[in-house]
Amino acid sequence: VSLMVGDRRQDIAGARENGLAAIGVAYGFGSREELGAENPARIVERSSEIVSLLSAD
């Protein structure tokens, strides 16, 4: 499974344009609102949440 983790809307849009799921990280440069406008699969507040998502069955 491949996915993009990004903190700006361009990251999420680029993932979609290349057929990848995307997780937005609200602890980077972009805001939650900016990320949400691109409809990522998920928006997380901490990097530990990414680990939990990838470990989930």
Sign for the CA dihedral angle at 48, 53, 55, 57 comes to positive
* Cβ atoms within 10 Å, residue 26: 17
pLDDT of residue 12: 98
* Residue 20: other Cβ atoms inside 10 A: 14
Contact (Cβ atoms closer than 8 angstroms) between residue 27 and residue 46: yes
CA 16 to mean position of chain CA atoms: 11
Helix (H) or strand (E) holding 25: strand 21-25
pTM of the model: 0.88
pLDDT tier at 4 (50, 70, 90 boundaries)? very high
